[in-house]
Structure formats: structure tokens, C-alpha cells
Amino acid sequence: MLNTNLAPVNAYAPNRRNDDVNGITRVNIGSGTSGASGWFNIDNSPTIPLSRIPLVRRIPRIPAWPADVRRHDVRKGLPFNDSSVRFIYSSHTFEHFSWEESLRVAKECFRILEPGGVLRVVVPNLTLLVGEYLRDRSPLASHTFLARLSLSHTVFDLLHPGANHSQMFDESSLLHLLRLAGFPNPEVMAFLQSRIPDLGAVEPEARKRESLYVEAQR
């Protein structure tokens, strides 16, 4: 309903000193090319290092990645010490993982958050998509619905791994995921309704209508 235990040992990600901005450590998982100032921005696109080669970055399909976006595969762990991060934000990223991968990442988020730290996960809202499908009277409503789910994978995923989805979430499944990761009371939130200050720097209004917002406190 809309809001009016174990943290795993990190066996595979090396510890590193966190980027600290004004005493607040913030991590943005799956930042895309819109990495925000004041956040440790992470994305796993193979085009990130390519975009930093002068000749290569002129090739079409190579995005202009900001210098403050680091390439890192969060499925292999988060490179932060235990209980060292205050806020974690992730928008339209968890649906690109398998269920097992998303649970592993959520457990890593639990591990690195300090007590009272906040994880905010934003994903496409399957309930909204299903509702629109059920109201669609066109003869190809089923095909439109499946296309919008974007669950197919092609060879182009090697260049743009975030192009398609591996799973979809509704309110129940996302809350369940975060509980399994160790968060005791995850809650459904609204756009920009959050315990994270200055959220507007990372939360785009363009995806407000299609998104499910869930927040969990360690």
C-alpha cells in the first residue's frame, strides 16, 4: 500500500574508500548517462570506456557518458565497506536483472547501508501496464502489451545491456524482494516522496506515470 536479516558478507567486491560529498555518501545504481552531481554514479554499459576514446566516441550508438559515471557490474557486488553508505537510488535497473541477480544486489545494498540508511528502487509498474492492456480494445492489444514488456534479448544487448528487461515487478513482488534482502519494512512511495533529500537531482519526472516507487530503510 502506498505510504501516506542478515546482511551477506561481501566475498567478491573489494573494499574501497567511498566518495563523500558534504558528509553524505550517495550511490546511484544504473545511473545511465544522467549521472547526478554529488552521487557515486554506477552503470555497466560497455560503451562507457569506449566513449572515453576520442575517435571511438564519434561512432553512432556510443552515448556521451559523463566523466563521473563509473563502469561497474553491481551483480558482482558493490565496492563499498559494510555500513558505509547513507543513501542508495536505483531507477529502472532492477528489471534488467534476473530474480536471483536482483536479490543479490538488494542484499548488497543492505550490507553497505549504514543503520537508518535508505534504499529507493524505481521500476516499471507491471500493474499499470496490465491495466492498460485490459482496457485496450484493439485486436492487437496482446501484441502491444508484450512489446511494452520488452522481455526479448538480442545480440545488441552486448552493446546496450539495458535495452531489454529480464523480469517485471508489481508492488507485491518488489516489496517481497526487499524483505528477502533483509529490509524489515519496505514501503510504496510516490514520485519524489522520499526520506532521501534533494531527490530531484536523480528522479526524472518523465518516468513518473509508468513507475513504481519503493523505499526501504535499514
The strand order across the sheet containing 40-43 reads 69-71, 40-43, 26-29, 85-91, 113-124, 211-217, 187-189
Alpha carbon separation from 196 to 26, 56, 74, 86, 108 (Å, rounded): 9, 37, 21, 9, 19
Q: What is the mean pLDDT of residues 30-54?
A: 84
Which sign does the torsion angle of CA 60, 63, 67, 73 carry?
A: negative
What are the pLDDT digits (tens) for 118-164? 999 999 999 999 999 999 999 999 999 888 888 776 666 655 655 68
Measuring CA to CA, which residue among 112, 103, 98, 117 is closest to residue 42? 112
pTM reported for the whole predicted model:
0.83
- Residue 150: per-residue pLDDT: 82
Domains for the chain: give ranges and CATH numbers: 26-217 (3.40.50)
Nearest-angstrom CA–CA distance, 86 and 67: 23
Residue whose grid cell is 530503510:
217
